[in-house]
Amino acid sequence: MKKPDYQNPESLVLRFMREKRKLTLLHVGKKIEIKPKIIDHIESGRKIVTKEQILSFLECYNFSLDYFNEMTKIHPLTKQAANHYFLLNT
């Protein structure tokens, strides 16, 4: 499978959320029963994330779907912009 030219917003937001909660790939993988390597592939945009997986991640990270959807609309979606959004909305 060819690596995409850019990461999709969903992948980036999931990574930002995991990092914000200071969770490791191993910890999340054990909690939601997905191999850490698959989580890494999802977060890097190499694997398409399903709606069910998004919901599992959000439950693990304790974020709402509305919050997730709002974050995916940030433009440009950078780590700095995500951190600013977290600060304003927590």
The string of pLDDT tens digits covering residues 22-48 is 999 999 999 999 999 999 999 999 999
Residue 2 lies in a domain: no
Predicted structure pTM score: 0.87
The string of pLDDT tens digits covering residues 37-87 is 999 999 999 999 999 999 999 999 999 999 999 999 998 888 888 888 888
Contact 47, 38 (CB under 8 A): yes
Contact 86, 20 (CB under 8 A): yes
Total domains in the chain come to 1
Residue 3 lies in a domain: no
Give the end-to-end CA distance of the chain in Å, rounded to a whole number. Answer: 38
pLDDT of residue 6: 58
CATH code: domain of residue 50: 1.10.260.40
**Residue 18 to residue 61: CA distance in whole angstroms:** 6
